[in-house]
Amino acid sequence: MKNDKIYEDLFLVQKRAKRIFILVGLLFIFLILNFWKIQILDHEKYWERSEANRMREILLPFQRGLITDRNGTILANNKSSFRVSLIRENCEDYEKSCRKIARLLGIEEEVLKERIKKYESLPLFKPIVVKENLTNEEVAMIKARKLELPELIIQTEPKRFYPFGSIAAHVIGYLQEISPEELEDGIHPERRLGDLVGKTGIEKEYEAGLVGVDGQLVEVVDSLGRSKGEIARLESRRGRDLTLALDFDLQKKAEELLEGREGAIVVLDAKTGELLALTSYPNFDPNSFINRFTSEEWLDLVNSPEFPLENRAIRGLYAPGSVFKLTMALGALDLGIVTDQTTYFCGGTIRIYGRPFSCWLEQGHGKVNLYDGIRHSCNIYIYQLGKEMGIEEIARYARMLGFGEKTGIDLPGEKDGLMPDPKWKREFRNEPWHPGETILVSIGQGPIMVTPIQVAAHTALIANRGSGISPHLYKSYSQAGNKKMSSPHFSKNYTVKIDQANFEKVIQGMWEAVNKEGTGRAAKVSGYDICGKTGSTQTISTKKLEEMTEEEEEEVKTHSWFTGFAPREDPKIIVTILVEYGGMGGETAAPLARQIFDLYRKKYDRQKSS
């Protein structure tokens, strides 16, 4: 009996032992699989963490290429700057660290946390920039608290700097932090979250050439994150310098002329299409974009009633007013509707299609031929051309001469403008075209819309007797830089099929407008053959204007235009000016044009002849 009990007990032990062996075996297999995962599958992850305990990789940011004007004046530069970054892995107590850092750096704790949260997908040992453009005092304060805040590190970086502030701001553009959407779309390959990229202007258009290649520094650090020596260094490579066609003196003068107004000035090289000045006002200081905005600051700027971020020269849409009379004259001459000696009588008003239409000069201009019509900007003369041509032909010649489509300028965001016709009205307004609308469009009123850069390109086409140009800011890249960059090709140069003799007739009218007491006489520069055309455009509908009293009409301000070129033979410069709510073109825009022409002549024409 005793032996039976012994065997019975042994069997129970063996049964339990077997279960334990199985359990131990399963645990052993689990450990083996876990070790395999750590050492094989997650090898790189833990290798980076282990290396981060003794080594630190520091990014050496590249310098963006400089942006200069045609004479070497630096418009966009780089300067040394300090920034402080947070390494979350070194935080013993994240909440406590945030409170201390916010107090030390003088920023709100919520803003700090929001900034950190934006980069929470990065590994814990990767630095997150929490404040830039540190002062020397701030750097000293942070270094003095190194033992207390080992999670903070100071880094140096090149910072974009615009030495002339708001001058040429709409041309140069600004930098802002790359968005997650841009990263996902691959718009900026090899860039990381937190990098600054060109958002507008030349900074955006030529981003690929201006950016360089980041370098890297690897150093040994102790448990407190203090550097113990450098292991390896790969120097960064700067971007290519970019030379623009802009002339700083002309650009500065144009900005001064527009100060306190709203409008745009375009100055073109008549032969090459190089932009010597491109001004939009009100403007902004691109330096303010270098530091990261809070959402409230950004909304304040975007929602400003003055729209300082809007580049009116390429995005502002305006009725061309009497500037469009040049298009009408060319079209009518080319169609054989009139010659330069065909006359119409202007008595101040005329009835067309049973409706009265007025000239801007109440008593009228009397007997008017083509030259008089352009010189005095006679509405009645142009009404007659509009009636004879019809809207289809008006639209065809307008598009032929550069309206209704982009010029192709090398800036992002250019608008097409609008050349209306019956098809457009049916598609977008679901209404028929009325004959009276043709008469309004003929003098540049109604739904027709153009940009100042289009008017400048249109004027260059006339000045060159039918040869068009492509307005552009690019002049050249430097030889040295991060990579080989090919020059952009501006291929929109073209010739319109209109007899040059007809261009000469229109140019004669433009010359008389400036030099024979015409509407553009305020643009005259003694001894300089300037040809030009003024324009004034209504800012309210014709229907509403007709309902107003004479006193109310006097209070309505119009947009003021001037566009012209010089000299008459072998033209070199195109000047187009728009002043919003500036009144009559001859009173506001033309005197500003005179100052631009005068400065150009003193700087270039006399310089060549001396």
Alpha-carbon distance of 122 to 118, in angstroms, equals 9
Sign of CA dihedral 432, 435, 439, 442: positive
Alpha-carbon distance of 249 to 255, in angstroms, equals 10
SS3 187: coil
Closest to 401 in 3D by CA, of 317, 337, 325: 325
- What is the full DSSP assignment across 93-132? SHHHHHHHHHHHHT--HHHHHHHHHHTTTS-TTS-EEEE-
Place of tokens 């003088």: 106
Residue 319 CA, distance from chain mean position = 22
Tell me how crowded residue 174 is: count the other CB atoms within 10 A of its CB. 24
Q: Which amino acid is at 422?
A: P
Measured at the alpha carbon of residue 403, what is the angle toward residues 399 and 407, in degrees to the nearest 5?
110
SS3 503: helix
Query: Could you tell me if 580 and 283 are in contact, meaning their C-beta atoms sit under 8 angstroms apart?
Result: no
Q: Half-sphere exposure of residue 2, counting CA atoms within 13 Å on the CB side? A: 0
SS3 134: coil
Sign of CA dihedral 401, 403, 404, 406: positive
SS3 233: strand
DSSP 8-state code for residue 135? -
**252: which 2 tokens?**
């500065």
Alpha-carbon distance of 374 to 325, in angstroms, equals 7
Residue length of the chain: 610
Tell me how crowded residue 161 is: count the other CB atoms within 10 A of its CB. 15
Strand duo 275-281 + 263-269: pairing: antiparallel
Closest to 262 in 3D by CA, of 592, 580, 583: 580
Query: Could you tell me if 202 and 175 are in contact, meaning their C-beta atoms sit under 8 angstroms apart?
Result: no
Please report which helix (H) or strand (E) contains residue 207, including its range: helix 207-210
Q: Which of 322, 377, 442, 470 is catalytic?
A: 322
**443: which 2 tokens?**
């003098």
Estimate the share of the chain in helix, then strand, then coil, as percent rounded to the nearest 5.
40, 20, 40
For residue 155, what are the β-bridge partners? 83
Q: How far is CA 196 from CA 94, 160, 178, 184, 291, in A?
A: 27, 10, 6, 16, 10
Q: Respond yes or no: is residue 322 known to be catalytic.
A: yes
Q: Half-sphere exposure of residue 221, counting CA atoms within 13 Å on the CB side? A: 20
Q: Which residues are catalytic?
A: 322
